[in-house]
């Protein structure tokens, strides 16, 4: 009996010790968990702010890019000369307002149309050679074309000087057109006058 | 490779800035475990939100950069010369073709006056053209002799326009030297004919005068007029 009592007492004691130990342990792990959580929260906070800052910078960069694009688009769209990009087949890929005005149609309606449709019959050969040489030789080419400027109210031809150059990735041909109708008229007049004088003068200067 | 290094240092810099920012934001009150878990959850959600936003922004930036490159190619490598001028006539932008036409490196041309590249004899024409662009706000044209090379003339046909939104003047230039040469040649021939014709007319007038004189002398000496004038 006494032995048994002793045994029981010992067991209780052991249990108490174990529980005490466990409690100690538990509080230790909970401390650990709490500490880890705090660390994690700190990490998350830092990362969040990092992301926020990065986002700010990206937004700023995006705005700057957008401004640059706007500037260039204006320089292209509203340039005083006609700007066109043509595919190898001679289809209009893009064009600016001046080019559309020269061709006598709206910009949107001209996209994907064949540029040859707007060139006078006499100039078609010159244009085809220009496009072919541009894609083949990859050098700047120039020529003079007569455009058919047909609208509801006007039906006339325009004389344009064309400079052509292949784009950097060689996918399309960049053309700029300048209206030189006035100059062409003067040249023709001058030529006519000189020819007339040559014909009727016995004395040649 | 270089980009990666730059990116790494950039990331490090961002992290330092974020830590500093956190220090100023952190509240001093202690939080219990439940709050921590809730906070952690919220932070995780917000983090994912931010990451998604970040990815979208990156994509937008890439698209913008591609668009810029396309625009730059269209402008910089255009076959004609493009120049933009301020209201004072200073060059604010130009493309490669324009640089070649003006006969100098692109960087050296920026911010200089466009008038510097025009020959003395064309300056007045240019000033008039420049003034017309701003006055009429419609496309104006002119032909100028440029100073690009001292030994041979360089003629350009220039179209100019003021942009709608900003008050900058956009010019496009094409080389018309060859046709100008032919024109000048023809003009010379025409001038020679004019001189020749002038000479013939003078000679004819003199003949008429002489005939008149002879007629008068004949009448004085009692004879009949010989020439019908």
Domain ranges of chain B: 81-175, 178-229
How many angstroms separate the CA atoms of A113 and A119, rounded? 12
Distance of residue A139 Cα from the nearest chain B Cα, in angstroms: 10
DSSP state of A112: T
Nearest-CA residue of chain B relative to A174? Answer: B78
Query: B77 contacts in A (CB within 8 Å)?
Result: 165, 167-168, 174
Is B188's pLDDT higher than 70? Answer: yes
Global pTM?
0.73
pLDDT digits (tens, 9 = 90+) for A72-81: 888 899 999 9
Chain B CB contacts of A142 below 8 Å: 79, 174-175
pLDDT of residue A6: 53
Q: Given B54, B61, B193, which is nearest A205 (Cβ)?
A: B193
Banded pLDDT at B10 (limits 50, 70, 90): low
Q: What is the mean pLDDT of residues B181-206?
A: 90
Q: What is the pLDDT of residue B65?
A: 87
What is the per-residue pLDDT across B116-172, written as a single tens digit (0 to 9) for each? 999 999 999 999 999 999 999 999 999 999 998 778 889 999 999 998 777 889 999
pLDDT tens, B31-68?
Answer: 566 777 788 888 888 888 888 888 988 898 888 888 88
Please say if the pLDDT value at position B181 is more than 90: yes
For A80-200, CATH gives 3.30.450.20
Superfamily of domain B81-175: PAS domain (3.30.450.20)
Asked whether residue B76 carries a pLDDT value surpassing 70, the answer given is yes
Residue A4 in this model has a pLDDT that exceeds 70: no
Confidence (pLDDT) at B83: 96
Say if the Cβ atoms of B78 and A183 lie within 8 Å: no
Point out the least confidently predicted range of A15-19, A88-92, B199-203, B208-212: A15-19
Please tell me which residue, A70 or A35, carries the higher pLDDT value.
A70
B204 touches chain A (CB under 8 A): no
To the nearest 10 degrees (0 to 180), the angle between helices A2-77 and B2-25 is 120
Question: Is the pLDDT confidence value at A112 over 90?
Answer: yes
Residue A150 has pLDDT above 90, yes or no: no
Query: Nearest-CA distance from A76 to chain B in Å?
Result: 7
Mean pLDDT of chain A: 85
A65, A81, A174: residue with CB nearest B77: A174
CB contact under 8 A, B179 and A187: yes
| Rounded CA separation B135/B171 (Å) | 15
Q: In chain A, what residues touch B196 (CB-CB under 8 Å)?
A: 201, 203, 205
* Predicted pLDDT of residue B9: 73
Beta carbons of B172 and A186 less than 8 Å apart: no
Please indicate if any CB of chain A lies within 8 Å of the CB of B183.
yes
Higher pLDDT pick, B83 / A1: B83
Tokens read off for A157: 């031809």
Cβ distance of B64 and A65 shorter than 8 Å: yes
Identify whether the C-beta of residue B176 lies closer than 8 Å to the C-beta of residue B159.
no
Helices (H) and strands (E) in chain A, counts: 5, 5
pLDDT of residue A2: 47
A178·B166 Cβ contact <8 A: no
Higher pLDDT residue, A153 or B155?
B155
CB pair distance less than 8 Å for B182 and A187: yes
In this complex, do A45 and B186 lie within 8 Å of one another by their Cβ atoms? no
Q: Where are the beta strands (DSSP E) in chain B?
A: 81-85, 91-94, 140-146, 154-162, 169-175
State residue A114 phi and psi, 5-degree precision: -75, 125
Is a pLDDT exceeding 60 seen at residue A3? no
Q: For residue A153, which phi and psi values (nearest 5 degrees)?
A: -105, -25
- Whether residue B7 is predicted with pLDDT greater than 90 in this model: the reply is no
User: What percentage of chain B carries pLDDT values higher than 70?
Assistant: 92
Q: Using a CB-CB distance cutoff of 8 angstroms, which residues of chain B are in contact with residue A33? A: 33
Predicted confidence at residue A45, as pLDDT, reads 84
Chain A residues whose beta carbon lies within 8 Å of the beta carbon of residue B50: 48, 51-52, 55
Most confident of the ranges A20-29, B6-15, B164-173: B164-173
Q: Give DSSP secondary structure letters for A137-205.
A: H-S-EEEEEEEEEE-SS-EEEEEEEEEEEE-TTSSSEEEEEEE-HHHHHHHHHHHHHHHHHHHH-SS--
Q: If you average pLDDT over residues B2-29, what whole number do you get?
A: 65
A111 or B18: which carries more pLDDT confidence?
Answer: A111
Q: What is the model's pLDDT at position B3?
A: 47
Chain B CA closest to residue A69: B68
Residue B208 contacts A, CB cutoff 8 Å: no
* pLDDT score at A21: 63
Q: Which residues of A touch B189 (CB under 8 A)?
A: 194, 197, 205
Instruction: Locate the domains of chain A by residue range.
Output: 1-77, 80-200
Of B64, B72, B172, which is closest to A62 when you measure between CB atoms?
A: B64
CA distance A85 to A95: 6
Question: Could you tell me the pLDDT band of residue B28, with boundaries at 50, 70 and 90?
Answer: very low
* pLDDT at B2 exceeding the cut of 50: no
Residue B15: its pLDDT value, please? 74
pLDDT band at A105 (very low <50, low <70, confident <90, very high): very high
């Amino acid at each position: 009996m006494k032995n048994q009592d002793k045994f029981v007492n010992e067991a209780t004691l052991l249990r108490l010790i174990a529980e005490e130990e466990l409690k100690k342990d538990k509080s230790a792990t909970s401390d650990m968990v709490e500490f880890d959580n705090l660390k994690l929260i700190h990490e998350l906070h830092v990362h969040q702010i990092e992301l926020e800052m990065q986002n700010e910078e990206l937004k700023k960069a995006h705005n700057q890019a957008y401004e640059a694009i706007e500037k260039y688009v204006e320089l292209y769209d509203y340039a005083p000369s006609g700007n066109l990009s043509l595919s190898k087949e001679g289809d209009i890929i893009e064009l600016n307002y001046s080019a559309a005005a020269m061709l006598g149609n709206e910009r949107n309606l001209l996209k994907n149309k064949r540029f040859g449709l707007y060139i006078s019959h006499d100039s078609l050969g010159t244009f085809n050679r220009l496009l072919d040489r541009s894609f083949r030789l990859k050098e700047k080419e120039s020529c003079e074309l007569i455009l058919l400027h047909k609208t509801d109210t006007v039906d006339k031809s325009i004389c344009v000087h064309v400079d052509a150059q292949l784009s950097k990735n060689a996918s399309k041909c960049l053309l700029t057109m300048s209206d030189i109708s006035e100059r062409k008229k003067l040249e023709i007049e001058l030529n006519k006058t000189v020819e007339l004088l040559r014909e009727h003068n016995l004395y040649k200067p | 490779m270089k980009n990666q290094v730059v990116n790494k240092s950039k990331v490090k810099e961002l992290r330092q800035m974020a830590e500093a920012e956190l220090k100023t934001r952190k509240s001093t009150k202690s939080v219990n475990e439940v709050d921590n878990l809730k906070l952690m959850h919220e932070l995780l959600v917000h983090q994912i939100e931010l990451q998604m936003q970040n990815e979208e922004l990156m994509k937008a930036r890439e698209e913008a950069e591609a668009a810029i490159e396309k625009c730059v190619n269209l402008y910089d490598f255009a076959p004609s010369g493009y120049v933009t001028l301020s209201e004072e006539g200073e060059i604010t932008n130009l493309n490669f073709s324009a640089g070649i036409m003006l006969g100098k490196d692109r960087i050296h041309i920026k911010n200089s006056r466009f008038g510097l590249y025009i020959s003395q004899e064309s300056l007045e024409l240019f000033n008039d053209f420049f003034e017309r662009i701003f006055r009429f706000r419609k496309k104006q044209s002119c032909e100028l002799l440029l100073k690009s090379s001292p030994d041979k003339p360089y003629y350009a046909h220039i179209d100019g326009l003021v942009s709608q939104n900003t008050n900058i003047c956009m010019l496009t230039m094409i080389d018309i030297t060859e046709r100008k040469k032919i024109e000048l040649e023809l003009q010379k021939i025409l001038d020679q004919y004019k001189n020749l014709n002038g000479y013939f007319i003078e000679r004819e007038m003199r003949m008429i005068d002489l005939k008149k004189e002879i007629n008068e002398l004949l009448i004085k000496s009692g004879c009949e007029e010989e020439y019908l004038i």
